[in-house]
Amino acid sequence: MSALLVVTAVPAEAEAIRAGLAEPAVTVAPVGVGPAVAGAATARLLALAEAAGRPYRAVVSAGIAGGFVDRVPVGGTVLASRSVAADLGAESPDGFLPIEELGMSAELLGVGSVVPADPDLLAALRTALPDAVVGTVLTVGTVTGTAGSTAALAARHPDAVAEAMEGYGVAVAATQAGLPFAELRTVSNPIGPRDRGAWRMREAFAALTTAASALR
């Protein structure tokens, strides 16, 4: 039985993780970019494994991410205390309203816009990666690319350390399957105006390979 399913967006992330794995009973699967495809593909992988009699015990969303300046350095490693659908809600004259503030019932909300990391899984990863920065990791459908939107996002989420595009979708799939979930990211660039010259992809992938030793 595979103990752990690690989901990435793209093959390069999966390859970086496989290069650092110390545990053979870990499945690493690139599933695509964005919360919808990541959630749907993860749910399918979990359902197929369960149907085959080899269910997974936990799910980790992993890959590279943008980091908030002064909260996590480029090349640093991040563990999500919770994964948040940062743009799931509505605009209003007073600013963004998360879905929880739209007057919907708990039944309609489902899991809501926030999925906490499993405490035991997070604790194990923190022990294995003591230098990792722990905080909220935001899931967005559109990568933040202006100073204004960066400032607004940072103000709405003062405990956020990074943003990516898949964590929340993977978290919902794991939650629906009743499985522990965690999110692991390494930072390739600062969040803000797009400056490809400031991206450090090689360093982020190297950090991901190093962090993969914690995935057991």
CA dist 208 and 16 (Å) reads 6
- pLDDT tens sequence across 11-65: 999 999 999 997 778 999 999 999 999 999 999 999 999 999 999 999 999 999 9
pLDDT at site 53? 93
Residues β-bridged to residue 85? 139
pLDDT of residue 108: 60
pLDDT at 13: 97
Residue-level pLDDT at 17? 96
Q: Which residues pair with 82 in a beta bridge?
A: 116, 136
At residue 58, the pLDDT reads 96
**pTM value surpassing 0.85:** yes
Q: Which of 97, 184, 206, 196 is nearest to 137 (CA)?
A: 184
Q: Which amino acid is at 142?
A: T
d(CA 69, CA 211): 21
* Alpha-carbon torsion (27, 30, 31, 34), positive or negative: positive
Cα–Cα dist 127/108, whole Å: 37
What pLDDT score was predicted for residue 2? 66
Distance between CA atoms of 216 and 129, rounded to whole angstroms? 12
Determine which helix (DSSP H) or strand (DSSP E) holds 63, and give its type and residue range.
strand 58-67
Print pLDDT tens along the chain (216 aa): 468 999 999 999 999 999 999 777 899 999 999 999 999 999 999 999 999 999 999 999 999 999 998 899 999 999 999 999 998 878 888 788 777 777 765 556 667 888 999 999 999 999 999 999 999 999 998 888 889 889 988 989 999 999 999 999 999 999 999 999 999 999 999 998 877 777 788 999 999 999 999 997
Cα(137)–Cα(69) distance, integer angstroms: 14
pLDDT for 107 equals 57
Q: Classify residue 114 as exposed, middle or buried by CB count within 10 Å of its CB (0-12, 13-18, 19+).
A: middle
Homologous superfamily in CATH for domain 4-214: Nucleoside phosphorylase domain (3.40.50.1580)
